[in-house]
Amino acid sequence: MRTYAAVDLGASSGRVMTGRVGQDVLELSEAHRFPNRPVRTPEGLRWDILALYAGVLEGLRAAGAVDSVGIDSWAVDFGLLDADGALLGNPVHYRDSRTEGVAQKVWATVPAAELYAATGLQYAPFNTLYQLAAARGTAQFAHARRLLLIPDLLTYWLTGEQGTELTNASTTQLLDPRTRAWSHDVAARLGIDLGLFAPLRRPGDPAGALRPEVLEQTGLHGPVPVTTVASHDTASAVAAVPAEGERFAYICTGTWSLAGLELDAPVLTEDSRAANFTNELGIDGTVRYLRNIMGLWLLQECLREWGEPDLGELLRQAAEVPALRSVVDAQDAAFLAPGRMPERIAAACRSTGQPVPATPAEVTRCVLDSLALAHRRALADAQRLTDRPVDVVHIVGGGTRNALLCQLTADACGLPVVAGPAEAAALGNVLVQARAHGLVGDRADMRRLLARTQPLTRYAPRGDAAAWRAAEDRLAAAVP
């Protein structure tokens, strides 16, 4: 039996989980959870990276003796280091407005179609590439000698060693998903110096050991190795989908919904680009072919506006609201920025000629119906674009605790849904560490272990397919 610490940082909280792995054993417990509170400074929206690092240290102390540590977080964001290796300012939040209008300028140099053919990444205003284009010309960027993605930055602070983890590197829009190496052509044409990036490392590679000061601060006894995991949280979560066989789709739910398929090779066609599917990399040479959907962010932002009412009660009321009265386009980047979410949802309903949801229960129902509809569209498009039919949808992540969302997704997709585990990213993190140390076998073995050990809930589709089709058509007509 071995014990691993999984540091898993999400948009609203970070956690350090301890995972115990053995023959037919996979147990996860929470050592420490801490808030992740981005701060709006005069310069814009920033991550409070020092608070996150302090939370990691506190979590490692709470976890106690472990055989190794792994770190995953959200993607695309980074810290810049100067020539001495010191951090230059707080990392910019991907929801910051600095990338507004930047993509169009980038496309004037490398057209969007060429970018997609080279990198396979869907358009999102916050892809690292656009963030770099926005940063160019700033004094901070002029002093930058190194760029470390968030999990790599924390790993550097813990170990003193620098690297660029592959699954997260695949979200920069500077990587070629076919060769799994940097796209030198794209970088050169956009004047991006790839020397900013530390050498690539792969999930399972060693990433150093906790520095003596870190051992002292956490009360741990060395050596404690740090292992490279699939450091993009979504890659870790997909690694922890408890699927049997290959005919499955997944939806990683949380702040985002990431809905798609696991493939052996990227799909770089024009149709795929038009449908805004991304080809991010997963473990073992897999491709995470998926679409970003706004996810429970829509609801989280409403809850914030309403003063954090009781979610359980709100969901009970939302279940009583008539289905599919109004739906919004949950893929729309118009919902990306924080603030005034109930108002923005009402405006979207009004401008598409639908009834405007009035009460929190009605708005909640509108959000959940809209998410389920977006899940349906994403999975239908993914199957069409890859010619890979699926029999079951696996929902993993925090949204598995939202039974109404899981049921509506089963209804909308017309497919059985298997929900769980909720802490998929942390489990994927633990399993990749365990595998690096020879405790579990291949990907299929990892998934069998998950299916045998984790509680899963099944939802059968309820037969109202025509209503979902009609809502889909209604939305498509209103939002081309």
CB of 218 to ligand LFR, least distance (A): 26
CB of 15 to ligand LFR, least distance (A): 13
CB of 251 to ligand LFR, least distance (A): 12
- In the numeric block, which tokens belong to residue 233? 């949280």
Write the single-letter amino acid at 425: A
Contact status: 292 vs ligand LFR (CB under 6 A): yes
d(CA 60, CA 226): 12
- Give 252 or 327: the residue with its C-beta nearer to ligand LFR: 252
Contact status: 166 vs ligand LFR (CB under 6 A): no
- Give 78 or 468: the residue with its C-beta nearer to ligand LFR: 78
Contact status: 297 vs ligand LFR (CB under 6 A): no
Binding test (CB under 6 A) with ligand LFR, winner from 4, 130, 182, 256 = 256
CB of 213 to ligand LFR, least distance (A): 30
Point out which span in 38-46, 82-90, 228-236, 448-456 binds ligand LFR (CB under 6 A): 228-236
Contact status: 400 vs ligand LFR (CB under 6 A): no
- Give 76 or 368: the residue with its C-beta nearer to ligand LFR: 76
Residues 371-390 that bind ligand LFR (CB under 6 A): none
CB of 394 to ligand LFR, least distance (A): 16
Binding test (CB under 6 A) with ligand LFR, winner from 74, 156, 248, 468 = 74
Instruction: Judge whether 233 counts as a catalytic residue.
Output: yes
Point out which span in 101-109, 217-225, 229-237, 354-362 binds ligand LFR (CB under 6 A): 229-237
Binding test (CB under 6 A) with ligand LFR, winner from 52, 76, 432, 439 = 76
Q: Which residues of 318-341 are buried (b: 16+ CB within 10 A; e: fewer)?
A: bbebebbbbbbbbbeeebbeeeeb
CB of 398 to ligand LFR, least distance (A): 10
Contact status: 130 vs ligand LFR (CB under 6 A): no
Number of residues that bind ligand LFR (CB under 6 A): 11
Contact status: 132 vs ligand LFR (CB under 6 A): no
CB of 396 to ligand LFR, least distance (A): 12
CB of 231 to ligand LFR, least distance (A): 10
Point out which span in 231-239, 309-317, 337-345, 399-407 binds ligand LFR (CB under 6 A): 231-239
Binding test (CB under 6 A) with ligand LFR, winner from 78, 94, 459, 468 = 94
- Give 75 or 449: the residue with its C-beta nearer to ligand LFR: 75
- Give 173 or 255: the residue with its C-beta nearer to ligand LFR: 255
CB of 292 to ligand LFR, least distance (A): 5
Q: Are 282 and 288 in contact (CB under 8 A)?
A: yes
d(CA 164, CA 174): 12
Contact status: 183 vs ligand LFR (CB under 6 A): no
- Give 75 or 367: the residue with its C-beta nearer to ligand LFR: 75
Residues 236-255 that bind ligand LFR (CB under 6 A): 255
- Give 301 or 411: the residue with its C-beta nearer to ligand LFR: 301
Binding test (CB under 6 A) with ligand LFR, winner from 96, 165, 233, 301 = 233
- Give 97 or 359: the residue with its C-beta nearer to ligand LFR: 97
Contact status: 258 vs ligand LFR (CB under 6 A): yes
Q: Which residues of 153-183 are buried (b: 16+ CB within 10 A; e: fewer)?
A: bbbbbbbebbbbbbbbbbbbbbbbbeeeebb
Residue from 8, 77, 96, 233 carrying the catalytic annotation: 233
SS3 per residue for the chain? CEEEEEEEECCCEEEEEEEEEECCEEEEEEEEEEECCCEEECCEEECCHHHHHHHHHHHHHHHCCCCEEEEEECCCCEEEECCCCCECCCCECCCCHHHCCHHHHHHHHCCHHHHHHHHCCCCCCCCHHHHHHHHCCCHHHHHCCEEEEHHHHHHHHHHCCCCEEHHHHCCCCCEECCCCEECHHHHHHCCCCHHHECCEECCCCEEEECCHHHHHHHCCCCCCEEECCCCEHHHHHHHCCCCCCCCEEEEEECCCEEEEEEECCCCCCHHHHHCCCEEEECHHHCEEEEEEECCCHHHHHHHHHCCCCCHHHHHHHHHHCCCCCCCCCCCCHHHCCCCCHHHHHHHHHHHCCCCCCCCHHHHHHHHHHHHHHHHHHHHHHHHHHHCCCCCEEEEEEHHHHCHHHHHHHHHHHCCCEEECCCCHHHHHHHHHHHHHCCCCCCHHHHHHHHHHHCCCEEECCCCCHHHHHHHHHHHHHHCC
d(CA 362, CA 364): 5
Point out which span in 227-235, 356-364, 381-389, 434-442 binds ligand LFR (CB under 6 A): 227-235
Write the single-letter amino acid at 436: A
Q: Which residues are catalytic?
A: 233
Which residues of the shown chain bind ligand LFR in the complex (CB under 6 A)?
74-76, 94, 232-234, 255-256, 258, 292
